[in-house]
A = this chain, B = another copy of it.
Amino acid sequence: MEVHVNQHRVNTHTVHANRARMLISCPDGPGIVAAVSRFLHEHGANIVQSDQYTMDPEGGMFFMRVEFDLPNLAEALLQLEQDFGVVAEQFRMEWSISCVSRKKKLAIFVSKEDHCLVELLWQWQAGDLDADIAMVVSNHPDMKEYVESFGIPYHHIPVTAETKPEAEQRQLEVIGSDIDVIILARYMQIISPKFIEHYRNRIINIHHSFLPAFVGGKPYAQAYNRGVKIIGATAHYVTEELDGGPIIEQDVQRVSHRDDVTELKRIGRTIERVVLARAVKWHVEDRILVHENKTVVFN
């Protein structure tokens, strides 16, 4: 049914068949930008966008994102990557190159609250989220029909305290080896360290508070009890520390004494939706570099 809705939409993302993005982290030092840009120029690439950031000019880390066009990218990429190894080794770089035309594959995890999932589906359908939603995984069956109406597979994998290890094993199986990033769209289960290890810096969670305030459960009730005048939401990469991973994006909204917990949740849902959608967009556009417990976001 939504297929019909889909058809009238114009994809706002022009396909850039020959566009690629490069992410680099390394210790800062003289000549990095010169070396990278010369390398790209000599290989026939045209830099469309370039961002750098040096944490501390005296001995800090250097981060770079380059967006470039390269004729016949598909054929030329392997050679480019091989040749870049020399540059990368010289500056001890961690680096990666991705093709814009190869959309990232998302698995969205959800429990019963559906607003974050609905937002991602809507933005995807509107052409605003340039990724493939490959599947939805849930510990509840509620959203099955809704998700499948978009033509997206829905995996209902119940989780209990006893079955948790098996459930995670089952999740890893359905995810397979093909998923680039996992979105916890108000998925109310704690992810095990083993699972996290598989997807280091590739699991994005939305926490319904302005972290580090109100870590853990029932953050809106915590916010109400503390009497804050502003509430927020935080998208972050999942690490072994609960709600403690690198923050990608946060946003807030003013509230008043008139807003009870129900109203805070209502207001919060819109913040959560917007913040998670931004974080996912930046991730799939290769705009985020993680260093220790912080993010560099070139947006």
Does residue A79 face the partner (Cβ distance < 8 Å to B)? no
Q: Copy number of this protein in the oligomer?
A: 4
Contact present for A33 and B50 (CB under 8 Å) = yes
Is the pair B30, A41 in contact by a Cβ cutoff of 8 Å? yes
Are B142 and A5 touching (Cβ within 8 A)? Answer: yes
Are A5 and B47 in contact (CB-based, < 8 A)?
no
Q: When the two chains form their complex, are residues A257 and B38 in contact, meaning their CB atoms are under 8 A apart?
A: no
CB-based contact B128/A122 at 8 Å: no
Q: Which partner residue on chain B sits nearest A222 by CB separation? A: B212
Decide: A293 and B227 in contact? CB cutoff 8 A.
yes
A103 at the interface (CB under 8 A from B): no
Nearest B residue (CB) for A13: B262
> Are A5's CB and B293's CB within 8 A?
no
Q: List CB contacts (< 8 Å) of A32-55 with chain B.
A: 32-35, 37-38, 40-42, 46-54
Q: Is A294 an interface residue (CB 8 A)?
A: yes
Segment of A92-100, A152-160, A242-250 engaged in the interface with chain B: A242-250
Partner of A266 from B12, B146, B228 at Cβ < 8 Å: B12
**Selected A-B contacts with CB under 8 Å, 6 pairs:** A30-B41, A34-B34, A37-B38, A47-B52, A115-B122, A257-B295
Closest 9 CB pairs of A and B: A227-B294, A34-B41, A34-B37, A213-B213, A30-B46, A33-B37, A229-B250, A257-B296, A8-B142
